[in-house]
Structure formats: C-alpha cells, structure tokens
Amino acid sequence: MSLDRKVVITCACTGAETSKAQNPALPVTSDEIATAAEEARAAGAAILHLHVRDAAGKATQDVGTFRRAIEAIRKKTDIVIELTTGGAVGDTPQERLRPIKELEPEMASLDCGTVNFGNDYIVNTLPVMREFAAEFRARRVRPTFECFDLGHVYASLALIKEGLVEPPYHYGLVLGVPGALPYGVRELAAMVDALPEGAEYTVMGIGRSSLPSQFGSIALGGWIRVGFEDNVYYSKGRLAASNAELVERAARIAREASLEPATPADVRDYLKLRP
C-alpha cells in the first residue's frame, strides 16, 4: 500500500441486531438513516453500510424499505451505499439477495462462510456464495467479501479462482463476534496475509474491539469501519452520541497517522465502481 493512499471509512449506522434500547440514537427510519448518512459523510465516512428495519424496528430485506432509505440518503449525500446481503439471522438466501437484484447498488456485502453469531449462527455454503457472486457480477455490484474467520478468506479465493469475481477485490474482515474469531493484531495479520494480491480491506472490530481494531488496521494499511452495527459505545460505559461521533474519531485516528479520510469519489476510483 502506498503512503499516498487515503483511508476509506465505512459507517455501519444501523445493522440488523442493534436496538434503540441499546442506544436511543440508533437510526431506524429512512429519514433517520439519511440524516445519519449525511452526518457520517460530513465527519469523514465515504461508504454507508446499509441495513433497514420494518415498522416494528426489526431487520428486513424488503425491497421497498431499502428503496425508500436509498432515495432519502441520495437527497442528502453522495456517500457510497453498500447494501447488506447478510440480512438478519434466519433470513433465506433468496430473501437476502432480492434487494441486489432489484436495486442494483454500487456495492454490497457477500458473506464468505458459516459462522457462530453469539448464540445464533449464519449459514453460507459455497453453492450459496457462488449464486450471490454470479448475481453481483451480472449487475456489476462490487462485493465486499465479509470474512469472520481465516477459512472464509480461503472460501473467497475459490470464487475468484472460478472467475465469479473480478478485481479490484474488497474485503470486510470482521473480528470480535462472540463465538467467532476475536480481534488481535496477529489474528488480523493472518487474514491480511491470506488476501489476494492487491486486495483492499476494511477491518470491523465488534464491541470493545472496535477501537483497537482501528489502530490495527491503520498500522497494516487497511481501511476502517465504525458505527452502531458494530459498537454502540464511545468509551467504556459511555454510549456514543451518534454514528458521526464514532466516524469523527476514526477520521482523527487516520489523520494522526498522516492519512486523509477518502471521499466517495476516491472509493469509486479505488474500487472501480459501476458509473
């Protein structure tokens, strides 16, 4: 990685599992999410990782709900939108894919394997991953290979070898999910070492590993993700006032390392997103 490169900050403002009971500032409606996106962009985020909720506040893969959120965001900011295809625990692969087929976002997450998720679990078999990759490729949606384990990186390499994904590659390395790989610089470095040549990667540390993982990623040359999907606290015992407050600190950490936060235009260039 070149020292002239910027750091791409992703804001995962809502997620599927976080509740207003955990942090009352959680954005849930399309207007709240659009405001969170605008504030995150102003604070230095270039990508918004998007989940949406139904009227009861429960995670949904409903296309109309995604469409309303995207329209509301687009009225306020040029931030790159990365849709989830992880959905919520228990969604079927077809439910998870539907927004990609109908809304054709610039970017979307592609989970690269089966993993414990606290007391639940997420299932992604290789045939499901191939189906997702083929749908992404047909629509030129840039995947973020989400890897919760070292083995998931190798599963992504199978998709690349089969010609289902074209470069540039972007990974989301998730550490600290209960029951999965914890955050540590050695664990992160093992994942980074296994990535294909030239791949970009965004590190997401869950819960208390969010802050140390930002330093770890900057040290290795990676990008960072913050937001209420991953962590609702600013510091021990003190809730974050907003997603933007977490983005502001991430941008500050980058700048202390002499790295500027990237803009959405930079991301569209680095990852060759569909015009």
Interface residue list for Zn ion (CB under 5 A): 84
Q: Say how far apart CA 80 and CA 76 lie, in whole Å.
A: 12
| Radius of gyration of the chain, Cα coordinates, nearest whole angstrom | 17
User: Peptide bond before 261: cis, by omega within 30 degrees of 0?
Assistant: no
Helix residue ranges per DSSP H, 86-227: 93-103, 126-139, 150-161, 185-194, 210-220
Which position's Cβ is nearest Zn ion?
A: 84
Q: How far is the CB of 256 from Zn ion (least distance, A)?
A: 27
Q: Which is nearer to Zn ion, 143 or 259 (CB)?
A: 143
Q: How far is the CB of 53 from Zn ion (least distance, A)?
A: 12
Q: Which is nearer to Zn ion, 209 or 259 (CB)?
A: 209
CB 81 within 8 A of CB 70: yes
Q: How far is the CB of 197 from Zn ion (least distance, A)?
A: 27
Secondary structure letter of residue 18 according to DSSP = -
Q: Which is nearer to Zn ion, 89 or 150 (CB)?
A: 89
199: helix, strand or coil: coil
Q: How far is the CB of 194 from Zn ion (least distance, A)?
A: 22
Q: Which is nearer to Zn ion, 43 or 59 (CB)?
A: 59
Q: Which two tokens stand for residue 58?
A: 């429960």
